[in-house]
Amino acid sequence: MKNETAEERRTLVRETIAELLEVDVATVRGDCLLREDLGMDSLTSLELLSTLSRELQVDLEMEEAMEIVTVDDTVRFVERHLAV
**Site residues for other proteins per CB under 8 A:** 21-22, 27, 32-33, 35-44, 46-47, 49-50, 53-54, 59-63, 65-66
Long-range Cβ contact pairs of 57-65 (< 8 A, separation 24 or more): 57/1, 57/2, 58/2, 58/82
CB of 54 to other proteins, least distance (A): 7
Cβ neighbours for 5, distance < 8 A, ≥ 6 positions apart: none
CB of 50 to other proteins, least distance (A): 5
Q: Known catalytic residue: 59?
A: no
The catalytically annotated residue of 24, 41, 59, 73 is 41
Length reported for the chain: 84
Q: Which positions are annotated as active-site residues?
A: 41
